[in-house]
Amino acid sequence: MGFMVVIGIAVARLRNLFAVVMLTGIFSLTAAVLYVVLDAVDVAFTEAAVGAGISTVLMLGTLALTTSEEKAHESGSHPWALMLVVVTGMALVYGTLDMPPYGDPTAAIHHHVAPYYLEKSFGHTGLPNVVTSILASYRGYDTLGEVFVIFTAAAGVLLIIGRAKFGRRRTVRLAPGELRDSMRQNVILRVVSKLLIPVILLFAFYVQWHGDFGPGGGFQAGVIFAAGFILYTLIFDIDTARTMISPRITRLGLAAGVLLYTLVGVASMLKGGTFLDYSVLADTQVKGQHLGILLVELGVGITVASAMVSIFFTFAGQER
Amino acid sequence: MDFFSDFPGLLNYWVVIVLMMIGFYIVIAHDNLVKKIVGLNIFQVSVFVFYITMAKIKGGTAPILAEGITTYSNPLPHVLILTAIVVGVAMTALGLALVVRIRDAYGTIEDDEIQAQESEDL
């Protein structure tokens, strides 16, 4: 954790935004390691895929479109800002003095619904991964909301910079198979990425379907799947990638995932249960829950993957 | 409070607060918009670490049920943070899209220069 603080301070001091973005990636990776230490394997998985992968790539995309150097200011330091921060920090430290110490099993947080989930979830859903059970079943409404937020954010990105009005649309279009960038001519990169991409996509599917039993699930699988395509786009060209998976498909997938999730909820209503109550979907409760969770996670995976790919395509398709 | 017997005690929370304040400082003291978004990210991660720290039980393991294990860490905060991370990156993307758009309109991503241009226009 000390490492994280050091990185944080470095980020605050540095003016070269490229270095800042790289440090943010390392920061995320350190956070992921910390999550493993703190037993949150699912969270660590997500953080490693998202923080160290996708968000770094997106930030670099922004830097390529804007500028990679922060301007120095005459005013220099901001004493008022530092003072405000220190005062707020002191107040928060004072607030923590009442908190239960690290790892205390008698803390209030562990005594409401958590023991119920841990004891009953296997009987209800038949899945050993409690995180997945809670995510997709007990807290299905929350997750549906989150998926809608991702959908909205991706739609927002497409609306804001998806349609360049000021002639920023790429003018040079490459025929498929034509070589241009030095990166494409690098044989090692090309061969290795060609070997790796199928494995990455396969791993994404494994994470998707195995998420019920081990760490993983729709969110992580979606991000890993998108990472495979992003790697392809980085090594080869955006236009080549677009011929393989067109923007129309990603936009369709964006909506289809949310729709699938909602339809599972509606289906359980039609079969006589309440919204997102999967127990009625099959003849036994465990089977129904299992089916519902599988479908819902699939919906999450489709939406997240399409959102990430279409956001990335939008950024990469810009021209300075 | 005997600090050494129950190490790390409250130390994790304090580190979280330090991280949070670094993020806060970047957001209010820097004019560069990309830097502001990085600051928000650091702030966000500090909140994530806070939740995950609360979920940890000493001697517990990851909440994947297996035979012979009786103590699990609290799975509920894990669920909340898992989804929050992915939503966070979607929001970061939205912010960055706005930055790209602002650069189109003003030719700069420094907050004070944008302010200066705005007041000239009036």
Residue B4 lies in a domain: no
Range A186-210 average pLDDT: 84
pLDDT band at A228 (very low <50, low <70, confident <90, very high): confident
* Whole-number pLDDT of residue A80: 80
Residue B90 lies in a domain: yes
Amino acid at position A53, single letter: G
Produce one character per residue of A283-305: b if its CB has 16 or more CB atoms within 10 Å, e if not: eebeebbbebbbbbbbbbbbbbb
Of A94, A131, A46, A91, the C-alpha closest to A304 is A46
pLDDT band at A177 (very low <50, low <70, confident <90, very high): very low
* Whole-number pLDDT of residue A283: 75
pLDDT band at A120 (very low <50, low <70, confident <90, very high): confident
Radius of gyration of chain A (CA): 23
d(CA A297, CA A303): 10
- Residue B102 C-alpha, separation from nearest chain A C-alpha, in angstroms: 10
Instruction: Among B30, B69, B79, B99, pick the best mutation site for testing chain A contact (most A Cβ within 10 A).
Output: B79
* Whole-number pLDDT of residue B80: 86
Q: Which position has the higher pLDDT, A156 or A283?
A: A156
* Whole-number pLDDT of residue B114: 83
Range B21-49 average pLDDT: 86
Question: Considering CB atoms only, which of A21, A88, A130 is closest to B65?
Answer: A130
Instruction: Check pLDDT > 50 for residue B16.
Output: yes
Instruction: Say whether residue A142 is in contact with chain B using an 8 A CB cutoff.
Output: yes
Write out chain A residues lying below 8 Å of B71, CB-based: 105
Print the domain residue range for B51.
11-121
* Whole-number pLDDT of residue A159: 86
* Whole-number pLDDT of residue A181: 53
The model's pLDDT over A19-42, given as tens digits with 9 standing for 90+, comes to: 888 888 888 888 888 888 888 888
Residue B44 lies in a domain: yes
Write out chain B residues lying below 8 Å of A315, CB-based: 93, 96-97, 100
The model's pLDDT over B61-110, given as tens digits with 9 standing for 90+, comes to: 777 777 767 777 788 888 888 888 888 888 888 888 888 888 888 887 78
Alpha-helix runs per DSSP H in chain A: 2-13, 17-37, 41-49, 55-65, 79-96, 114-125, 130-133, 140-161, 182-185, 187-210, 218-235, 238-244, 247-270, 285-316
* Whole-number pLDDT of residue A166: 46
Question: Considering CB atoms only, which of B29, B55, B109 is closest to A81?
Answer: B29
* Whole-number pLDDT of residue A105: 73
Q: Which position has the higher pLDDT, A168 or A212?
A: A212
Q: For chain B, what is the domain count?
A: 1
pLDDT band at A244 (very low <50, low <70, confident <90, very high): confident
* Whole-number pLDDT of residue A49: 83
* Whole-number pLDDT of residue A174: 47
* Whole-number pLDDT of residue A171: 47
Residue B59 lies in a domain: yes
Range A159-165 average pLDDT: 71
Range B19-38 average pLDDT: 84
What is the domain-level CATH number for residue B29?
Answer: 1.10.287.3510
Instruction: Say whether residue B20 is in contact with chain A using an 8 A CB cutoff.
Output: yes
Q: Residues 6 or more apart from A43 whose CB is under 8 A from it?
A: A35, B48, B52, B78, B81, B82, B85
* Whole-number pLDDT of residue A76: 55
DSSP string, A178-217: ---SHHHH-HHHHHHHHHHHHHHHHHHHHHHHHTTTSS--
List own/partner pairs for B69-73 with CB under 8 A and 24 or more apart: B71/A105, B72/A39, B72/A118, B72/A130, B73/A38, B73/A39, B73/A40
* Whole-number pLDDT of residue A179: 47
CB–CB contact A28 B45 (8 Å): yes
Amino acid at position A83, single letter: M
Of A115-119, A161-165, A256-260, A287-291, give the range with the top mean pLDDT.
A256-260
Range A72-82 average pLDDT: 67
d(CA B39, CA B22): 7
CB–CB contact A5 B22 (8 Å): yes
- The structural domains of chain A, with segments of one domain joined by +, span 1-70, 126-320
| Token pair for A88 | 């707020």
The model's pLDDT over A204-225, given as tens digits with 9 standing for 90+, comes to: 888 888 877 777 778 888 888 8
